[in-house]
Amino acid sequence: MSGAATKRLDHLLVALDFDDTITAQDCNDILLQETTGDAWLESEAAMVRGEMEQGT
């Protein structure tokens, strides 16, 4: 970063919560909504209805 001010982090915490034990909202839902808008909702509904096969 030539010429740009940088700030060094003393500590970094990364929390991955895929079963809602440490967050108030599902991390996947937040990520999908932020990156795709509502485009992911139909895929989610199809998965809940059992219309999608899991890869092996």
- Judge whether residue 1 has pLDDT over 60: no
Does residue 42 lie in a domain region? yes
Does residue 4 lie in a domain region? no
Amino acid identity, position 20: D
Q: What is the pLDDT of residue 4?
A: 67
- Judge whether residue 55 has pLDDT over 90: no
Does residue 29 lie in a domain region? yes
In whole angstroms, what is the distance from residue 56 CA to residue 54 CA? 7
In whole angstroms, what is the distance from residue 54 CA to residue 40 CA? 17
Amino acid identity, position 56: T
pLDDT band at 26 (very low <50, low <70, confident <90, very high): confident
Query: Which of 2, 28, 31, 5 has the alpha carbon at shortest distance from 17?
Result: 28
More confident residue, 37 or 16: 37
The pTM assigned to this predicted structure is 0.54
**How many independent structural domains does the chain possess?**
1
Give mean pLDDT, residues 48-53.
91
Token readout for 16 is 């991955």
Cα–chain-centroid distance for residue 42?
17
